Amino acid sequence: MTLRDFQDLIEAQYGRKDTRRGIERTFLWFVEEVGELAEAIRRGTKAEREEEFADVLAWLSTMASMSGIDLETAARAKYGRGCPRCRATPCRCAEPPSADRRRGGGKRPKRA
C-alpha cells in the first residue's frame, strides 16, 4: 500500500466524520494520539508501538486530506532528493543539540 493509498483509505473510512468534527478538533485528537505514541515508545510493547504509529499516521492523513494535501507528493517533494538542507543521502548536517541541552534554554532547531 502506498502512502496515497493509505490516505485514500482513511478518507473513505472516516472522511465524513472528520469533516463534521473540523480540523481544530481533529488536531486535538492527533495530539492525543502522539501522546499515546510517546507513552508506547517509553513503556510499550512492540505491538503497542505499531498500533500507535498507525494511529498517528491515520490522524496525520486525515488532517492532510482535510487540508487538501497529498502526503506522498509533499513528502517526495521535500525529502525525495536527499536532505532538504544539505541535499545528501544520508544527511551530512551537524546533529542538533541534545534534548537535555535544549531544556537548559536552548531553542529547538527547526526541521528542514
Instruction: Summarize pLDDT for 28-42 with one digit per residue, the tens.
Output: 999 999 999 999 999
**pTM of the entire structure?**
0.81
Q: How far apart are CA 63 and CA 69, in angstroms?
A: 8
Question: Tens of pLDDT along 42-97?
Answer: 999 999 999 999 999 999 999 999 999 999 999 999 999 999 999 999 999 998 76
Q: Which residues pair with 80 in a beta bridge?
A: 82
Q: pLDDT value at position 112?
A: 55
3-80: CATH topology = Helix Hairpins (1.10.287)
Q: What span, in angstroms and rounded, lies between the C-alpha atoms of 100 and 91?
A: 23
Cell numbers 517533494 correspond to what residue?
Answer: 77
What residue segments make up the domains of the chain, in order of their start? Answer: 3-80, 82-112
pLDDT at 104: 46
DSSP tally for the chain: helices H, then strands E:
5, 0
Indicate the SS3 state at residue 84. Answer: coil
Residues belonging to the chain: 112
Read off the pLDDT band of 111 (50, 70, 90): low
Strand partners, 82: 80
pLDDT of residue 99: 53
* pLDDT tens digit sequence for 14-25: 999 999 999 999
The C-alpha cell of 93 is what?
Answer: 548536517
